[in-house]
Amino acid sequence: MKNTILLLFTLLCLSCGEKKQSEKMANEETTSQVKLMTLDPGHFHAALVHKTMYPQVDSTIYVFAPEGPEVKDFLNKIEQYNKREDSPAAWNIESYFGDDFAEKMIAEKPGTVMVIAGKNSKKIDYILEAVKAGLNVYADKPLVINPKGFEKLKEAFRIADQKGVLIYDIMTERFESTTALQKLFSTLPDVFGELVEGSADEPAIVKESVHHFFKYVSGNPLVRPPWFFDVNEEGEGIVDVTTHLVDMVQWEAFPDEIIDSTDIDMVEAKRWPTVLTKEEFQKVTGLEAYPDYLKKDIKDNKLYVYSNGEMVYKIKDKYAKVSVIWNYEAPEGTGDTHYSIMRGTKSNLIIKQGAEENYQPVLYIESNNGNESLEPALQDALKNAVAQKFPGTTMEKVSDTLIKIKIPEAFKVGHEAHFGQVTENFLKYLEAGKLPEWEVPNMMAKYFTTIEGYKMALTTNTPSRSPK
């Protein structure tokens, strides 16, 4: 009897020990997970970060924001993701609403990463305070929109390095399949040769994009906040979307290379407005009247938004050109478009997205050696280097000197899905505790370029013109 009691007592102790160990492991797992705090989600990109879930990220999103339609739109999108039939998300929301939302986040710090996508004018100040508090930053572009902000960005990176935290901007275009393939082919000498120097009239690399104020996101008409049209808040086009384009120039033309501001020489830059009627403004914002802060940009009851910009510059002695155009609304059946060319000694790598391509990006390879065929080199590339990253990719001969690259549909996931891909990449860096050696200096070079272009464009007299 005594032995039986001792045995039962021993088993009970072991059971309790296993339970405590299990609870301890569960607590450690929860503690080790990344916890995201979303600050003032004024842009729909904040929600797109959460369109998918990540195993290493805690399911609770901590939201700090002022009351208003923007945070409501964010919460509605999260609810939509949670309730969708196909692979629903399972996010929980812990919210704090109040004018002191930023101070509250810094004081409480319930998470490890600040996610921010909203008013660009305030973004760098939030970033600076976050890194001072020892928080990692995952931010929508652009991080800065003016020279004063750029000086703060330098300080933010310096403090982040001291604190051992990361600042990372969301560069979705690196995950667009035709762009990734354009980059890959440019590293194959038998196909591309090497990047030419180019000239101001015919740059070695060109990136051009056309965007639209009215569009659909996650199946619903996008309602933009009225401040989106205020360049003092959003920034001019030459410092906003061009951030992606400048990033692509660096990422494709100089892969894994460190770029310094001394490698950048601005040649020319210009800006011009998109002109919106009052009816167009009402449709995209839902407001009946222009806010007072936009009256500085109104002429003849039309809103002039300096959302368009273009710059030509030299980077490591290669000429580059980036330009961005904003129209009101794309024609039916179309959408945002992209054009790019990389000029090589053997071939040009061209991305088009026009009517001929059904408004979907398509990569072409154009021979620069007359009728000399690129086919043998391309066949070899498709079987080897390309097959490793984009298996199933084929080619179609358009003419003796032009070949279309056909990418399997599985790799054409769309802009919204790229946010999940970038986030997964960021989480790997977060786990490692560091970014690639070139990433921070190249972020600095990227924003140096956009700000230099902005400063030059302000001194260039460009006639006002309506969108085409």
Torsion, CA 12, CA 16, CA 19, CA 20, rounded to 10: -170
In a domain, residue 60? The reply is yes
In a domain, residue 188? The reply is yes
108: containing domain: 32-169
Q: Looking at the structure, tell me whether residues 316 and 391 fall in a common domain.
A: yes
Indicate the number of domains in the chain. Answer: 2
Which among 147, 169, 191 is the end of a domain? 169
Say if residue 229 is exposed, middle or buried (CB neighbours under 10 Å; 0-12, 13-18, 19+).
buried
pLDDT in tens, the chain (468 residues): 445 444 444 444 444 444 444 443 334 444 468 999 999 998 889 999 999 999 999 999 999 999 999 999 999 999 999 999 999 999 999 999 999 999 999 999 999 999 999 999 999 999 999 999 999 999 999 999 999 999 999 999 999 999 999 999 999 999 999 999 999 999 999 999 999 999 999 999 999 999 999 987 777 788 888 999 999 999 999 999 999 999 999 999 999 999 999 999 999 999 999 999 999 999 999 999 999 999 999 999 999 999 999 999 999 999 999 999 999 987 776 778 899 999 999 999 999 998 889 889 999 999 998 656 889 999 999 999 999 999 999 999 999 899 999 999 999 988 899 999 999 999 999 999 999 999 999 999 999 999 999 999 999 855 444 333
Q: Looking at the structure, tell me whether residues 249 and 161 fall in a common domain.
A: no
Q: Are 116 and 123 in contact (CB under 8 A)?
A: yes
pLDDT in tens, 82-139: 999 999 999 999 999 999 999 999 999 999 999 999 999 999 999 999 999 999 999 9
Q: Which helix (H) or strand (E) holds 96?
A: strand 92-97
Q: Looking at the structure, tell me whether residues 284 and 145 fall in a common domain.
A: no
pLDDT in tens, 355-389: 889 889 999 999 998 656 889 999 999 999 999 99
Q: Rounded CA gap, 36 and 347, in Å? A: 45
> Cα 226 to the chain's mean position, in Å?
22
In a domain, residue 427? The reply is no
Side-chain-side CA neighbours of residue 71 (13 Å): 19
Unique residue bearing structure tokens 């020489």: 265
In a domain, residue 26? The reply is no
Taking CA atoms, 164 is separated from 37, 133, 137, 236, 432, in Å, by 18, 11, 12, 32, 11
**Can you give the CATH number for the domain in which 180 is found?**
3.30.360.10
Q: Looking at the structure, tell me whether residues 119 and 208 fall in a common domain.
A: no
Q: What is the pTM of this model?
A: 0.89
Q: What is the pLDDT of residue 371?
A: 58
Say if residue 74 is exposed, middle or buried (CB neighbours under 10 Å; 0-12, 13-18, 19+).
buried
Q: Looking at the structure, tell me whether residues 210 and 153 fall in a common domain.
A: no
Q: Are 172 and 418 in contact (CB under 8 A)?
A: yes
DSSP per-residue string spanning 338-366: EEEEEEBSSEEEEEE-SGGGTTS-EEEEE
Side-chain-side CA neighbours of residue 75 (13 Å): 18
Q: Looking at the structure, tell me whether residues 185 and 147 fall in a common domain.
A: no
Q: Looking at the structure, tell me whether residues 134 and 267 fall in a common domain.
A: no
In a domain, residue 399? The reply is yes
Q: What is the pLDDT of residue 462?
A: 55
Which among 139, 169, 199 is the end of a domain? 169
In a domain, residue 38? The reply is yes
Q: Looking at the structure, tell me whether residues 105 and 144 fall in a common domain.
A: yes
Which among 169, 199, 221 is the end of a domain? 169
The H-assigned helical ranges of 214-372 are: 231-234, 242-253, 278-285
**Can you give the CATH number for the domain in which 147 is found?**
3.40.50.720
The H-assigned helical ranges of 193-325 are: 231-234, 242-253, 278-285
The H-assigned helical ranges of 254-296 are: 278-285
Q: Looking at the structure, tell me whether residues 81 and 178 fall in a common domain.
A: no
Q: Looking at the structure, tell me whether residues 162 and 282 fall in a common domain.
A: no
Unique residue bearing structure tokens 């354009």: 182
Q: What is the pLDDT of residue 463?
A: 46
Q: What is the pLDDT of residue 22?
A: 40
Q: What is the pLDDT of residue 454?
A: 97
In a domain, residue 245? The reply is yes
In a domain, residue 19? The reply is no
Q: Looking at the structure, tell me whether residues 101 and 161 fall in a common domain.
A: yes
Q: What is the pLDDT of residue 30?
A: 43
Q: At what angle do helices 177-186 and 242-253 cross, to 10 degrees?
A: 30
Q: Looking at the structure, tell me whether residues 161 and 184 fall in a common domain.
A: no
